Amino acid sequence: MNLEKSKKRIAKKAKMGFKGYPQFSIAYFGEDTALATEVVVTFVAEEGASPQEQRFTGERDVREDEVIQSALVKIMERTDAKTVLSVDDVAIRA
């Protein structure tokens, strides 16, 4: 799947707001706000359930990495996530 298509699918699902569980969250991290070198995906199956986390890292911006963005879409689809939360800004990793 190409990069733009992946990004659009994630954004479209995120725009829908809270639709219940399962819930899928995407957060980007880096050493500064210009470059995201890590993405953390959190999955919550149902309200009150323990979150499951998976991390992807890269040397270049992971927001522009076609393989990582495609993997995010596949995880989102496989988990049948009803709600997708995505923070496009980069949080600084301490």
pLDDT reported for residue 93: 80
Ranges of each domain in the chain: 3-92
Contact (CB, 8 A) for 93 and 28: no
pLDDT at residue 4, as a whole number:
92
57: which strand partners? 38
Helical packing angle, 66-78 and 3-15, nearest 10°: 40
**3-state DSSP call for residue 81?**
coil
- The Cα 92–Cα 21 span in angstroms is 28
pLDDT of residue 94: 67
Q: How far apart are the first and last CA of the chain?
A: 33
Q: Is residue 25 classed as helix, strand or coil in its secondary structure?
A: strand
Mean pLDDT by 10 residues, the chain (94 residues): 91 94 97 94 96 95 95 94 93 83
